[in-house]
Structure 1
Amino acid sequence: MSDSDKPFDYAAADFNSVYTGGELLEGAAIKVVPWDIGEAQPDVVELEQKGRFSGAVLDIGCGPGDNAVFLAGRGHRVTAIDAASAAVDQARERAAAAGLEIEFAVADATDLAGYEGRFDSVLDSALFHTLPGPARPLYAAALHRVTRPGAQLSVLCFADVPGGMPAPLSVPGEELRATLTEAGWEITLMELSEYAGVAVGMEKFFERTGQRPRLDDKGRTRLPVWKVFAERVSG
């Protein structure tokens, strides 16, 4: 098997490197941040309009910060966390440029020690599917620990459906539902939606994985995601 035929080692993805001009995946030639569209995700805008965020809001896996900046700009009290320090640095710069106060931190999403019982709302915009399988239950449990009873969780997660991202970056609906339910989250809505991403610089990755994502009128990729609403169950 030639190098061009080998599957990518997603477990070795370097999320910190890609924010500083490095490569996200060896052999994928990805030197752009694929999820950095320079504005909040369209679904996040819609979620805010639907009242999914109130009280203390956690943006977990905040990336370059555009979702957090949008939510703070709408008057929400936001804490934004990412495991990649370079992402948090960029997010801080964008918040400062917008004149907004957001609490940023570098932290492990599967732990979140020190944040117990703090949040009323959580946004996961494309974090769940980046975690290796064994880490996903730990992550869902950590979110339960850091939220208050009745907290609302909104998740956008690459969906294991035709036209979607390759496994393990796409998640079967049954796995997502079971993981959240077992961690104390009651799912109130689960439906397919689309996630906007960067097309330029992703050509080699899509060629190797056989993907032909739909492009929108802004030239951005539109990939299928599960849009999940869940409510924290006490306990």
Structure 2
Amino acid sequence: MDRDIRSVEDVLDLLDGLFATEADRWSADGSAWWDGFYADRSKPVPFFVAKPDEHLVSYAERGLITPGRALDLGCGPGRNALHLAALGHEVDAVDLSPVAIEWATGRAREAGADVRFHCGDAFALTAAGAELGGPYDLIHDSGCFHHLPPHRRISYLALLERVLAPGGHLALTCFAAGAMGSELPDAAFYRQGGLGGGLAYTPESLRWIFSELEEVELRRMSDEPADSAHFGEPFLWTALFRRPDNR
């Protein structure tokens, strides 16, 4: 007879187990799914391109973000991490997949970019006394958040609380309801034991989840043509939030 629940983290770990069929997509102990996803670099995956998100370029051009310490969550092949480094940011970039980190490291080497890549679970890597400490002036997430099961939003908000500097920004990209991702209510994911490829969000849900942050901008990502220097797909939201100076 097991009686293992003694903390919030114990509860979160228990809930993780309900998603065993998809655990390799996001959990700390399973990177095989993503390794397989990144193994074939010739696949026609939109974000395999070696160019940055259009909104990230726009934020810098409009002075909404300025060079500082940056953390890129779920960096994949590193395209946005390299862009942030080119803008003058001091960049840490994290991904679960060793294959993705190897690809990103090679791209950085070819570009002469100074980025510190870390392979592992961002929640664990930013825990007290762990490898990645704050404060960060910018936390960037292009597609990680919508692959988290609902209960791990608690971990995500705790990460922001730990390492996002007062006055710092969260730049978030996620599936837009009505365009991409599952629109089932949160409870349904626990009944079916899967995330349906990722969760869709509405502007209202994002504003509620990140209500302790100040909204700077929230819009659909621009639809960038193939010959554009920037990445853009309209099935995504792009959002920029700011942590108040007094927090």
Q: TM-score, normalised by structure 1?
A: 0.73
CA distance change for structure 1 residues 83 and 171 in 2, over 3 Å: closer, same or farther?
A: same
Q: Which amino acid aligns with 1:126?
A: G
CA contact (8 A) 2:54 2:232 kept: no
Normalized per residue, the structure richer in strand is 1
CA contact (8 A) 1:41 1:195 kept: no
Partner of 2:137: helix, strand, or coil? strand
Q: How many residues align?
A: 197
Which residue of 69, 75, 93 maps to 1:62?
75
Match of 1:143 in 2: 160
Q: Does 1:230 align with 2:245?
A: no
Deviation of 1:43 after TM superposition, in Å, equals 2.1
Q: Distance in 1 between matches of 2:66 and 2:120?
A: 22
Q: Distance in 2 between matches of 1:120 and 1:87?
A: 24
String of CA shifts for 1:70-93, please: whole Å, max 9, x gaps. 121222211111122211111111
CA contact (8 A) 2:222 2:233 kept: yes
Q: Does 1:122 align with 2:152?
A: no
Q: Distance in 1 between matches of 2:165 and 2:61?
A: 22
Deviation of 1:166 after TM superposition, in Å, equals 2.9
CA distance change for structure 1 residues 126 and 104 in 2, over 3 Å: closer, same or farther?
A: same
Moved more, 94-103 or 52-61: 52-61
The CA RMSD over aligned residues, in Å, is 2.7
Among all aligned residue pairs of Structure 1 and Structure 2, give the percentage whose two residues are the same amino acid. 31
Q: Distance in 2 between matches of 1:34 and 1:130?
A: 17
CA contact (8 A) 1:61 1:82 kept: yes
Q: Which amino acid aligns with 1:179?
A: I
Match of 1:21 in 2: 40
Partner of 1:19: helix, strand, or coil? helix
Q: TM-score, normalised by structure 2?
A: 0.70
